[in-house]
Amino acid sequence: MIALEWSQAIEPHTALTSIATATKPSEMRRAWVHRAPEDQVLTLYRTAAEVDPELPGPWWLRALATGQLSTRSEGFLLEDRVAKLLDARPGWVFVPWGAEGDTGYWEYMPSERRISGPATPTTLVLTDRHPGWLDIFPVHNAGKTPDPLAVRGLADLRANLARWESVS
């Protein structure tokens, strides 16, 4: 039953078309985990994670549960700042569909042209893997995904974005 309860907690509860056309993470924040009192969200997450340690959910919730973030709002703020930065740059596109319960990710579309055959463009994802919260996956041919490059936060992203775009 806890798996069903968790599945409902991350369900966006909005028309699928509005999620599919989202252009930034804030447009994806429609689920119970985004709106319910933070302590209730954490309690349900921790209970469900005891049953399934690989529980789907947003990056910020995993970071919040381990004490790496102090509030859900910190995660939302980072998502919004990344969206603002990448929105102002040509070639970056927000992809609203990802793993179940996930925030979405960004792709740098011009990078696809640098590889012959089917390619996955340079991709930026939010992560709880490290305290910089951002990973870049370089452009690559379909098949084996390269290891992510850890970005050391928003300042590092801003400082190195032009370089990552040029080598993508």
- Report pLDDT digits (tens) over 79-133: 999 999 999 999 999 999 877 788 899 999 987 776 777 788 999 999 999 999 9
Residues 6+ apart with CB under 8 A from 131: 68, 153
Report the percent of the chain where pLDDT is more than 90.
67
What is the domain partition of the chain in residue ranges?
2-167
Give the count of alpha carbons within 13 A of 41, CB side only: 20
The per-residue pLDDT for 166 is: 82
Distance from C-alpha of 104 to C-alpha of 39, rounded to nearest angstrom? 24
| Residue 125 phi, psi dihedral angles, 5° rounding | -125, 150
Whether the pLDDT of residue 70 is over 60: the answer is yes
Q: Residue for token digits 């998502």?
A: 79
| Residue 61 phi, psi dihedral angles, 5° rounding | -70, -40
Whether the pLDDT of residue 76 is over 70: the answer is yes
- Report pLDDT digits (tens) over 28-58: 898 999 999 999 999 999 999 999 999 999 9
Class of residue 127 by CB neighbours under 10 A (exposed 0-12, middle 13-18, buried 19+): middle
Give 93's strand partners. Answer: 107
pLDDT band at 17 (very low <50, low <70, confident <90, very high): very low
The per-residue pLDDT for 143 is: 78
